[in-house]
Structure 1
Amino acid sequence: MLLTLTTTHQPATDLGHLLHKHPERVLERALPFGRATVFYPEATITRCTAALLLEVDPVALSRHTRGNESTPLEPYVNDRPYAAGSFLAVALRDAYGTAMTGRSKDRQDLADTPLPLVAELPCVAARGPSDLPERLFGPLGYAVETQPIALDPHFPEWGERPYVRLRVSGTVRLKDLLAHLYVLLPVLDGKKHYYIGDDEVDKLLRHGAGWLETHPGRELILGRFLRFRALVQQAAASFSPEEEGTPEETGLPAQPRPHVHDTRLDRVAKVLKETRAARVLDLGCGEGKLLRRLVEVPQFRDIVGLDVSARALETAADKLRLKARPELAARVRLLHGSLTYPDSRLRGFDAAALVEVIEHLEPHHLETLTENVLGDARPRHLVVTTPNREYNAVFAERGDEARMRHADHRFEWTRAEFRAWAEGAAKQYGYAVRYEDLGDVHPEYGPLTQMAVFRQEG
């Protein structure tokens, strides 16, 4: 799949400065699902084009497809390697991540200036009404051109959709165009190739800042980007309801509601601080959101994040700015490892956290994790959070309480099931345990998130 970005601003080769990619060099990047290449098929003073070519490995793709999310042949026969959607959005962020921030060391004034830009994609998955591209890009000021692509010219009865050639053009900042493409390509597709969790809400709000709140198709974008009703409602809560009036109308300062995930992490960080711990573990740290809170607390002198994903650890290091902040080197360590194996590096800590981690394990691994954390690592305190399955009825359609909150969850516990596990584990390994509700609490279904705090006895 291919994305080209073209400008006629002169000198047009300044596009290389804005993208942080030199027109005379070819950049190749390995991705978990294939390879991305950035090159310039045209680079003159009057016109410059940067091309992002993404080659998806269909064999690797088939190996990572979960059987419960597809029909038997879908992992082998699908449009994922060819039609632009979430794969290309991920490659775009990987290739042009610095450009998406709007920063340019040599051309900051140009980065802040709207430029004549054209984005062209020869094949885009656009599942929905035929005017969907116009409904998404049009309100942002773009001229939108689409050309339907036949599924097979030899069988016209099969129809032309859902694939189109897409061209959007306008005078915009490069940063804005990249943000629009990053958000709206998966929205056009209506599907994503990766797990959708709380981090997706933050991504959407971050890249949608300044335009999503006023977009007439905001509800459509939220629904197709996030998919799950709980996440859609979480994102929607960040926008002020119209009936409450603007800050100017009410005379009150703007105070956006905190995200559910942020509230959870803030509370966990506070509980860890209350334990008076000096050495803390974030088990399953992901991209380091809890770690970023912990480093701001001088009390925590030794902070360790562990995750099974090496890529997530790289992102955490970038967001913590470990290379740019040498003062953190003596306090923060990021470890690659799995909680399904004993790990001597995790022993001797005052406190540890498992924030929205256990539900991603296969149930038969839970006993092993419990033994490795409480029996082998044995932190003096352990904070565990997990979704409350009963609360799903608030989100589910037609009262379907059996539906899990996220596709990547292997199980979700009721309040009684969570307490049964926690009390059994506490008794077996010599801990006392208390419970706390996090987030909204329904009078019948209980809290959105449930938390257990273990304290080593003796």
Structure 2
Amino acid sequence: MLVTITTTHVPATDLGYLLHKHPERVTSVDLSFGVAHVLYPEASESRCTAALLLDVDPIGLVRDREGEPLAAYVSDRPYVASSFVSVAISRAFGTALGGRSKERQELAERAIALEATVSVVAARGGESLARRLFEPLGWTVEIERIALDELHPEWGEGRALRLALRGTQTVASLLAHLYVLLPVLDDDKHYWVDAAEIDKLLRHGEGWLEAHPERELVTRRYLRHQRSLVRAALERLEPLLDEESEARAAAGEDALERPLSLDARRRAFVRETLREAGVRTVADLGCGEGKLVAELAKERFERVVGVDVNARALEIAGERIAKLPEHARRRVELMTGSLVYRDARLVGLDAATCVEVIEHLEPERLDAFERALFVAARPGLVVVTTPNREHNALFPSLAHGALRHSDHRFEWTRAELEAWARGAAERRGYDVRFAPIGDEHPEHGAPTQAAIFTRKDGAA
């Protein structure tokens, strides 16, 4: 079994610090079922790849097994990614899985460009399930189906896939996703499952499992369909779900967009835009439950301000921030405020973000929004994202002419966003450019559209 992790973060060799394995050495870890080797087939400033090679002892797997010896030996267990890989990840990359790095802690908490490949995955549920598991987490998924026998294509395809994941996330998130979801894809585990597995699932699923659209399937398969364990795990997840998605789940917007991973893609786009501009201080206006604020606090931003008019949303954001490391918590300020009123507390910040918020304003209040943001606060950089109404035609569950959220006051076409943004930029002394977020349709465009404003009288 072979799993590779690649980054193009510069310097890419920092991957060695994140995984706690030196690029110039081969590290071997003895396991009860074989040996895990960690090596680096490439390690340069621009690109670095770590490979986890798992050598499973097939004789050891069946040594004490009674019954049908031939059936035990004729098995794909030594050759497909499964719970064996999860154990190898926890043993070989345990510190990285926990999000810790002695030499590069800030980098360990930062989302970077990552690519993971798994040479052969056991997938009961096939390509469709693999996508349903990984795409909602923000990964771009590439899959190659593997024939049962390359010399006999008429035999068809088996249940094995080659899997590649690409995205901008922390190394700890990548390892946690693989740790939990590879056994889920396989729908089996090589060891006895008891109540301790619930703690493992919730620990490594923290921050993503509670809102995952396949959370019940993940829980059921991870716990090997043991009803009492599954029920206990879901009961422990339920309060987290209520806190994380109470506001949006009721309206249905989250469920509508989740298959496209728009929430994760939007935040990744905003983070990358801020990083490219060299931003140090930023306010997230309409921060809601604080997902973007928490992600920015984990990176190198010196000050992150979250502003929202909803007291309950800020309370949840506060609980989320409280879970961050102390150095990240110190960078965050949460405050009650409105997008349409001048706020002296926001003056002097490098940037402001307004992610899927502007469409909740009454159209007649857009002028007040402009004045509060572009005149009073006047940050060097402003990032506004909003739904693209043209793309709504591609949502099968959305009625013709309906809006994505019951609280939306409007949704703009691409031309309408550009008309408003160019007018606001001209009126308020900014330049503006536009970008799509999400997969683009040749006719209907991307599901989310962004306007990036840069102040003319100074760099961001």
1:95 Cα deviation after fit: 0.2
Corresponding residue to 2:237 among 236, 239, 247: 239
Which residue in the other structure is 1:190 paired with?
187
Corresponding residue to 2:138 among 126, 138, 141: 141
1:77 Cα deviation after fit: 0.6
1:129 Cα deviation after fit: 3.9
Structure 1 Cα separation of the partners of residues 17 and 3 of structure 2:
18
Counterparts in 2 of 1:66 and 1:52: CA distance versus 1, 3 Å: farther
Which residue in the other structure is 1:433 paired with?
none
Counterpart residue identity of residue 30, structure 2: A
Counterpart residue identity of residue 186, structure 1: P
Alignment of 1:286-297 (within 5 A): none
Give TM-score scaled by structure 1 length: 0.52
1:187-246: CA deviation from partner (whole Å, max 9, x where unpaired):
011111111111111110110010000000001101111121111101011022699787
Corresponding residue to 2:173 among 172, 176, 189: 176
Counterpart residue identity of residue 58, structure 2: P
1:156-175: CA deviation from partner (whole Å, max 9, x where unpaired):
34321300110001000000
Counterpart residue identity of residue 53, structure 2: L
Which residue in the other structure is 1:41 paired with?
41
Counterpart residue identity of residue 198, structure 2: V
Alignment of 1:240-259 (within 5 A): 240=238
Gaps of 5+ in 1: 250-458
Structure 2 Cα separation of the partners of residues 5 and 246 of structure 1:
30
* SS, match of residue 141 in structure 2: strand
Counterparts in 2 of 1:216 and 1:12: CA distance versus 1, 3 Å: same
1:119 aligns with 2:116: yes
Corresponding residue to 2:95 among 94, 98, 116: 98
1:8 Cα deviation after fit: 0.1
Which residue in the other structure is 1:220 paired with?
217
1:74 Cα deviation after fit: 2.9
Structure 1 Cα separation of the partners of residues 51 and 241 of structure 2:
45
* Number of equivalent positions: 246
2:127/2:143 contact within 8 Å kept: no
* SS, match of residue 37 in structure 2: strand
Query: Identical aligned pairs, as a percentage?
Result: 57
2:210/2:238 contact within 8 Å kept: no
Which residue in the other structure is 1:83 paired with?
80
Alignment of 1:6-405 (within 5 A): 6-65=6-65, 67=67, 73-227=70-224, 228-240=226-238
Counterparts in 2 of 1:19 and 1:66: CA distance versus 1, 3 Å: farther
1:132 Cα deviation after fit: 1.0
2:146/2:161 contact within 8 Å kept: yes
Counterparts in 2 of 1:66 and 1:84: CA distance versus 1, 3 Å: farther
Compute the RMSD of aligned alpha carbons: 2.0
Counterparts in 2 of 1:64 and 1:133: CA distance versus 1, 3 Å: farther
1:59 Cα deviation after fit: 0.5
2:37/2:52 contact within 8 Å kept: yes
Counterpart residue identity of residue 195, structure 1: W
1:257-315: CA deviation from partner (whole Å, max 9, x where unpaired):
xxxxxxxxxxxxxxxxxxxxxxxxxxxxxxxxxxxxxxxxxxxxxxxxxxxxxxxxxxx
Counterparts in 2 of 1:150 and 1:171: CA distance versus 1, 3 Å: same
1:314-339: CA deviation from partner (whole Å, max 9, x where unpaired):
xxxxxxxxxxxxxxxxxxxxxxxxxx
Counterpart residue identity of residue 85, structure 1: S
Gaps of 5+ in 2: 248-460
1:77-110: CA deviation from partner (whole Å, max 9, x where unpaired):
1001101111111111110000011111111110
Which residue in the other structure is 2:311 paired with?
none
Structure 1 residue ranges, 4+ long, deviating more than 6 angstroms after superposition: 241-249
2:114/2:166 contact within 8 Å kept: yes
Counterparts in 2 of 1:156 and 1:114: CA distance versus 1, 3 Å: same
2:211/2:245 contact within 8 Å kept: no
Counterpart residue identity of residue 238, structure 1: R
* SS, match of residue 92 in structure 1: helix
